[in-house]
Structure 1
Amino acid sequence: MSVQILVDGDACPVKDEIYMVALRHQVPVSVVSNSYFRIPEHPLISRKIVSDGFDAADDWIAEQASAASIVVTADIPLADRCLKAGARVLGPSGKPFTDDSIGTALATRSIMADRRVGVAGIGAGGPAPFSKADRSRFLSALDAAIVAAKRAAG
Protein backbone atom coordinates (compact mmCIF):
# COMPACT_ATOMS: atom_id res chain seq x y z
CA MET A 1 0.00 0.00 0.00
CA SER A 2 1.57 3.31 -1.04
CA VAL A 3 1.36 6.55 0.88
CA GLN A 4 -1.13 9.18 -0.27
CA ILE A 5 -2.08 12.66 0.91
CA LEU A 6 -5.76 13.62 1.11
CA VAL A 7 -6.43 17.34 1.42
CA ASP A 8 -9.65 18.92 2.67
CA GLY A 9 -9.14 21.61 0.08
CA ASP A 10 -11.90 24.20 0.27
CA ALA A 11 -10.31 26.31 3.01
CA CYS A 12 -6.80 24.85 3.20
CA PRO A 13 -4.16 27.61 3.53
CA VAL A 14 -1.19 25.27 2.93
CA LYS A 15 -1.93 23.71 -0.46
CA ASP A 16 1.27 25.06 -2.03
CA GLU A 17 3.32 23.65 0.84
CA ILE A 18 1.62 20.27 0.45
CA TYR A 19 2.46 20.16 -3.26
CA MET A 20 6.09 21.10 -2.61
CA VAL A 21 6.69 18.44 0.05
CA ALA A 22 4.67 15.75 -1.73
CA LEU A 23 6.52 16.21 -5.01
CA ARG A 24 9.87 16.08 -3.22
CA HIS A 25 8.84 12.73 -1.71
CA GLN A 26 7.00 11.56 -4.86
CA VAL A 27 3.73 11.05 -2.94
CA PRO A 28 0.36 11.47 -4.70
CA VAL A 29 -1.98 14.21 -3.51
CA SER A 30 -5.78 14.31 -3.87
CA VAL A 31 -7.29 17.73 -3.23
CA VAL A 32 -10.96 17.29 -2.35
CA SER A 33 -13.43 20.16 -2.53
CA ASN A 34 -16.96 21.21 -3.26
CA SER A 35 -15.86 23.69 -5.90
CA TYR A 36 -13.29 24.11 -8.65
CA PHE A 37 -9.95 25.79 -8.05
CA ARG A 38 -6.64 25.53 -9.82
CA ILE A 39 -4.10 22.90 -8.96
CA PRO A 40 -0.66 22.42 -10.50
CA GLU A 41 -0.55 20.23 -13.58
CA HIS A 42 1.42 17.25 -12.38
CA PRO A 43 0.69 13.51 -12.55
CA LEU A 44 0.96 13.19 -8.74
CA ILE A 45 -1.60 15.93 -8.03
CA SER A 46 -5.30 15.33 -8.64
CA ARG A 47 -8.52 17.12 -7.87
CA LYS A 48 -11.72 15.49 -6.67
CA ILE A 49 -14.78 17.73 -6.80
CA VAL A 50 -17.69 16.25 -4.90
CA SER A 51 -21.30 17.31 -4.86
CA ASP A 52 -22.09 20.40 -2.88
CA GLY A 53 -24.05 18.35 -0.36
CA PHE A 54 -23.36 18.97 3.32
CA ASP A 55 -20.16 17.14 4.35
CA ALA A 56 -19.81 15.48 0.90
CA ALA A 57 -16.08 16.27 0.71
CA ASP A 58 -15.58 15.07 4.28
CA ASP A 59 -17.43 11.84 3.52
CA TRP A 60 -15.28 11.17 0.45
CA ILE A 61 -12.06 11.81 2.37
CA ALA A 62 -13.13 9.60 5.29
CA GLU A 63 -14.04 6.78 2.89
CA GLN A 64 -10.61 6.95 1.21
CA ALA A 65 -8.57 7.30 4.42
CA SER A 66 -6.45 4.34 5.45
CA ALA A 67 -3.25 3.53 7.32
CA ALA A 68 -1.34 4.67 4.21
CA SER A 69 -3.03 8.10 4.20
CA ILE A 70 -1.98 11.46 5.50
CA VAL A 71 -5.03 13.72 5.79
CA VAL A 72 -4.70 17.49 6.00
CA THR A 73 -7.75 19.15 7.54
CA ALA A 74 -8.81 21.68 10.14
CA ASP A 75 -12.15 19.89 10.51
CA ILE A 76 -12.03 18.14 13.88
CA PRO A 77 -14.90 15.65 13.28
CA LEU A 78 -13.29 14.69 9.95
CA ALA A 79 -9.94 14.27 11.71
CA ASP A 80 -11.63 11.91 14.18
CA ARG A 81 -13.14 9.81 11.37
CA CYS A 82 -9.79 9.59 9.58
CA LEU A 83 -7.91 8.62 12.74
CA LYS A 84 -10.42 5.81 13.24
CA ALA A 85 -9.55 4.61 9.71
CA GLY A 86 -5.88 4.51 10.72
CA ALA A 87 -4.72 7.64 8.87
CA ARG A 88 -2.22 10.19 10.08
CA VAL A 89 -3.94 13.58 10.37
CA LEU A 90 -2.41 17.06 10.37
CA GLY A 91 -4.04 20.42 10.89
CA PRO A 92 -2.90 23.25 8.59
CA SER A 93 -0.80 24.72 11.41
CA GLY A 94 1.22 21.49 11.54
CA LYS A 95 -0.34 20.24 14.74
CA PRO A 96 -1.07 16.53 14.43
CA PHE A 97 -4.38 15.09 15.53
CA THR A 98 -3.73 11.85 17.41
CA ASP A 99 -5.78 9.23 19.18
CA ASP A 100 -4.66 10.85 22.44
CA SER A 101 -5.59 14.42 21.45
CA ILE A 102 -8.76 14.03 19.38
CA GLY A 103 -11.11 13.62 22.36
CA THR A 104 -9.98 16.92 23.85
CA ALA A 105 -10.21 18.63 20.45
CA LEU A 106 -13.78 17.37 19.95
CA ALA A 107 -14.81 18.47 23.46
CA THR A 108 -13.25 21.92 23.01
CA ARG A 109 -14.97 22.31 19.64
CA SER A 110 -18.31 21.43 21.24
CA ILE A 111 -17.81 23.89 24.10
CA MET A 112 -16.82 26.69 21.70
CA ALA A 113 -19.82 25.97 19.46
CA ASP A 114 -22.15 26.16 22.47
CA ARG A 115 -20.47 29.35 23.62
CA ARG A 116 -20.87 31.01 20.21
CA VAL A 117 -24.56 30.12 20.10
CA GLY A 118 -25.14 31.10 23.72
CA VAL A 119 -23.72 34.58 23.40
CA ALA A 120 -24.94 35.33 19.88
CA GLY A 121 -21.41 35.83 18.60
CA ILE A 122 -20.25 38.27 21.27
CA GLY A 123 -16.58 37.66 21.96
CA ALA A 124 -16.59 34.63 19.69
CA GLY A 125 -13.77 35.41 17.28
CA GLY A 126 -12.40 33.03 14.72
CA PRO A 127 -9.02 31.35 14.77
CA ALA A 128 -5.84 33.38 15.09
CA PRO A 129 -4.38 34.63 11.81
CA PHE A 130 -2.23 32.09 9.97
CA SER A 131 1.44 32.90 10.56
CA LYS A 132 4.83 32.15 9.01
CA ALA A 133 5.56 30.01 12.07
CA ASP A 134 2.39 27.95 11.38
CA ARG A 135 3.51 27.48 7.76
CA SER A 136 7.00 26.42 8.83
CA ARG A 137 5.65 24.05 11.47
CA PHE A 138 3.32 22.52 8.87
CA LEU A 139 6.18 21.92 6.40
CA SER A 140 8.21 20.09 9.07
CA ALA A 141 5.22 18.09 10.30
CA LEU A 142 4.19 16.99 6.80
CA ASP A 143 7.73 15.97 5.95
CA ALA A 144 7.95 13.92 9.16
CA ALA A 145 4.51 12.34 8.56
CA ILE A 146 5.49 11.27 5.04
CA VAL A 147 8.77 9.73 6.24
CA ALA A 148 6.94 7.85 9.03
CA ALA A 149 4.16 6.68 6.69
CA LYS A 150 6.67 5.43 4.11
CA ARG A 151 8.60 3.61 6.84
CA ALA A 152 5.38 1.98 8.14
CA ALA A 153 4.31 0.98 4.60
CA GLY A 154 7.55 -0.92 4.20
Structure 2
Amino acid sequence: MKIYVDADACPVKDIIISEARKYEIPVILVTSFSHYSNAEQPAGVETIYVDSGADAADYRIVKLVKKGDIIVTQDYGLASLGLAKGVIVLHHKGFTYSNENIDQLLQTRYLSAMARKSGQRTKGPKPFTAEDREQFRDHFKKVLSSEKSN
Protein backbone atom coordinates (compact mmCIF):
# COMPACT_ATOMS: atom_id res chain seq x y z
CA MET A 1 0.00 0.00 0.00
CA LYS A 2 1.13 3.52 -0.85
CA ILE A 3 -0.44 6.91 -0.28
CA TYR A 4 -0.51 9.29 -3.24
CA VAL A 5 -1.13 12.95 -2.50
CA ASP A 6 -2.35 15.48 -5.05
CA ALA A 7 0.04 17.86 -3.33
CA ASP A 8 -0.19 21.22 -5.09
CA ALA A 9 -2.95 22.58 -2.84
CA CYS A 10 -3.18 19.92 -0.15
CA PRO A 11 -3.41 21.54 3.30
CA VAL A 12 -2.93 18.26 5.23
CA LYS A 13 0.39 16.94 3.87
CA ASP A 14 1.95 17.13 7.34
CA ILE A 15 -0.84 15.00 8.84
CA ILE A 16 -0.59 12.46 6.02
CA ILE A 17 3.17 12.14 6.46
CA SER A 18 3.12 11.87 10.26
CA GLU A 19 0.29 9.32 10.39
CA ALA A 20 1.68 7.24 7.49
CA ARG A 21 5.07 7.01 9.22
CA LYS A 22 3.43 5.32 12.21
CA TYR A 23 2.34 2.49 9.90
CA GLU A 24 5.47 2.63 7.71
CA ILE A 25 3.37 3.38 4.62
CA PRO A 26 5.21 5.19 1.80
CA VAL A 27 3.87 8.63 0.85
CA ILE A 28 4.26 9.98 -2.67
CA LEU A 29 3.65 13.71 -3.09
CA VAL A 30 2.81 14.54 -6.71
CA THR A 31 3.20 18.24 -7.45
CA SER A 32 4.00 20.58 -10.31
CA PHE A 33 7.46 22.00 -10.95
CA SER A 34 6.04 25.42 -10.05
CA HIS A 35 6.03 24.18 -6.42
CA TYR A 36 9.61 22.88 -6.55
CA SER A 37 11.44 22.77 -3.24
CA ASN A 38 14.95 21.75 -2.16
CA ALA A 39 13.61 20.84 1.27
CA GLU A 40 14.62 17.40 2.47
CA GLN A 41 11.65 15.05 2.85
CA PRO A 42 11.41 12.68 5.81
CA ALA A 43 12.15 8.99 5.32
CA GLY A 44 9.34 7.22 3.50
CA VAL A 45 8.28 10.33 1.56
CA GLU A 46 8.98 10.79 -2.14
CA THR A 47 8.17 13.84 -4.25
CA ILE A 48 7.36 13.45 -7.93
CA TYR A 49 7.38 16.65 -9.97
CA VAL A 50 5.24 17.01 -13.08
CA ASP A 51 4.68 19.74 -15.66
CA SER A 52 2.47 22.63 -14.64
CA GLY A 53 -0.28 21.56 -17.07
CA ALA A 54 -3.88 21.53 -15.89
CA ASP A 55 -4.16 17.85 -14.95
CA ALA A 56 -0.54 16.66 -15.09
CA ALA A 57 -0.46 15.61 -11.42
CA ASP A 58 -3.80 13.82 -11.75
CA TYR A 59 -2.66 11.83 -14.78
CA ARG A 60 0.61 10.84 -13.09
CA ILE A 61 -1.22 9.65 -9.99
CA VAL A 62 -3.68 7.60 -12.06
CA LYS A 63 -0.76 6.06 -13.93
CA LEU A 64 1.06 5.06 -10.72
CA VAL A 65 -1.74 4.06 -8.35
CA LYS A 66 -2.68 0.42 -7.84
CA LYS A 67 -5.63 -1.31 -6.20
CA GLY A 68 -5.28 -1.06 -2.43
CA ASP A 69 -3.46 2.29 -2.51
CA ILE A 70 -4.84 5.54 -1.11
CA ILE A 71 -5.22 8.87 -2.92
CA VAL A 72 -5.76 12.17 -1.08
CA THR A 73 -7.23 14.85 -3.35
CA GLN A 74 -9.84 17.54 -3.53
CA ASP A 75 -10.24 16.98 -7.29
CA TYR A 76 -13.48 15.16 -8.09
CA GLY A 77 -12.23 14.06 -11.50
CA LEU A 78 -9.14 12.41 -10.02
CA ALA A 79 -11.32 10.88 -7.30
CA SER A 80 -13.57 9.35 -9.97
CA LEU A 81 -10.59 7.88 -11.84
CA GLY A 82 -9.14 6.51 -8.60
CA LEU A 83 -12.41 4.84 -7.64
CA ALA A 84 -12.49 3.18 -11.06
CA LYS A 85 -9.07 1.67 -10.30
CA GLY A 86 -10.26 0.27 -6.97
CA VAL A 87 -8.35 2.59 -4.65
CA ILE A 88 -9.44 4.42 -1.52
CA VAL A 89 -9.87 8.12 -2.24
CA LEU A 90 -10.01 10.68 0.56
CA HIS A 91 -10.83 14.40 0.59
CA HIS A 92 -8.77 16.68 2.83
CA LYS A 93 -11.92 17.77 4.67
CA GLY A 94 -12.25 14.28 6.12
CA PHE A 95 -14.54 12.18 3.96
CA THR A 96 -14.10 9.22 1.65
CA TYR A 97 -15.19 9.44 -1.96
CA SER A 98 -17.39 6.52 -2.95
CA ASN A 99 -19.29 5.20 -5.94
CA GLU A 100 -22.39 6.45 -4.11
CA ASN A 101 -21.30 10.09 -3.73
CA ILE A 102 -19.01 10.75 -6.71
CA ASP A 103 -21.79 11.17 -9.29
CA GLN A 104 -23.49 13.85 -7.20
CA LEU A 105 -20.19 15.65 -6.60
CA LEU A 106 -19.34 15.62 -10.32
CA GLN A 107 -22.86 16.79 -11.23
CA THR A 108 -22.65 19.69 -8.78
CA ARG A 109 -19.25 20.68 -10.18
CA TYR A 110 -20.62 20.56 -13.73
CA LEU A 111 -23.68 22.66 -12.89
CA SER A 112 -21.53 25.26 -11.13
CA ALA A 113 -19.22 25.45 -14.15
CA MET A 114 -22.20 25.95 -16.48
CA ALA A 115 -23.60 28.66 -14.21
CA ARG A 116 -20.25 30.49 -14.19
CA LYS A 117 -20.01 30.15 -17.97
CA SER A 118 -23.40 31.83 -18.33
CA GLY A 119 -22.23 34.75 -16.18
CA GLN A 120 -23.71 33.74 -12.83
CA ARG A 121 -21.65 34.04 -9.69
CA THR A 122 -21.24 30.89 -7.64
CA LYS A 123 -19.89 30.36 -4.16
CA GLY A 124 -16.42 28.95 -3.83
CA PRO A 125 -15.38 26.38 -1.26
CA LYS A 126 -15.64 27.32 2.40
CA PRO A 127 -12.33 28.21 4.09
CA PHE A 128 -10.34 25.30 5.48
CA THR A 129 -10.55 25.36 9.29
CA ALA A 130 -8.75 23.80 12.25
CA GLU A 131 -11.87 21.69 12.74
CA ASP A 132 -11.51 20.41 9.16
CA ARG A 133 -7.89 19.47 9.90
CA GLU A 134 -8.90 17.46 12.94
CA GLN A 135 -11.77 15.82 11.08
CA PHE A 136 -9.31 14.76 8.37
CA ARG A 137 -6.80 13.48 10.95
CA ASP A 138 -9.45 11.38 12.72
CA HIS A 139 -10.84 9.97 9.48
CA PHE A 140 -7.37 9.28 8.05
CA LYS A 141 -6.29 7.43 11.19
CA LYS A 142 -9.41 5.25 11.01
CA VAL A 143 -8.80 4.45 7.34
CA LEU A 144 -5.13 3.57 7.95
CA SER A 145 -5.98 1.44 10.96
CA SER A 146 -8.69 -0.39 9.05
CA GLU A 147 -6.52 -0.99 5.98
CA LYS A 148 -3.49 -2.18 7.97
CA SER A 149 -5.66 -4.70 9.86
CA ASN A 150 -6.96 -6.21 6.57
Report what 1:82 is aligned to: 82
Report what 1:50 is aligned to: 50
- C-alpha distance in 2 between matches for 1:33 and 1:43: 18
SS of the residue 2:80 aligns to: helix
Task: Indicate yes or no: 2:28 matched with 1:30.
Answer: yes
| Identical-residue share of aligned pairs (%) | 32
8 Å CA contact 1:33–1:50 kept in 2: the answer is yes
Report what 1:17 is aligned to: 15
**Measured at CA, do residues 40 and 149 of structure 1 come closer, stay the same or move farther in structure 2, by a change above 3 Å?**
farther
How many residues were matched structurally? 148
2:137 to 136, 139, 144: 139
With the length of structure 2 as denominator, give the TM-score of the two structures: 0.91
Give how far 1:38 is off: 5.9
Root-mean-square deviation (Å): 1.5
Moved over 4 A (4+): none
- C-alpha distance in 2 between matches for 1:38 and 1:84: 34
Report what 1:105 is aligned to: 105
- C-alpha distance in 2 between matches for 1:128 and 1:75: 15
Greater RCO structure (CA 8 Å; 6+ sep): 1
- C-alpha distance in 2 between matches for 1:10 and 1:93: 16
Unaligned runs of 5+ residues in structure 1 are: none
SS of the residue 1:68 aligns to: coil
Give how far 1:50 is off: 1.1
Give how far 1:149 is off: 2.3
Report what 2:123 is aligned to: 125
- C-alpha distance in 2 between matches for 1:138 and 1:40: 25
With the length of structure 1 as denominator, give the TM-score of the two structures: 0.89
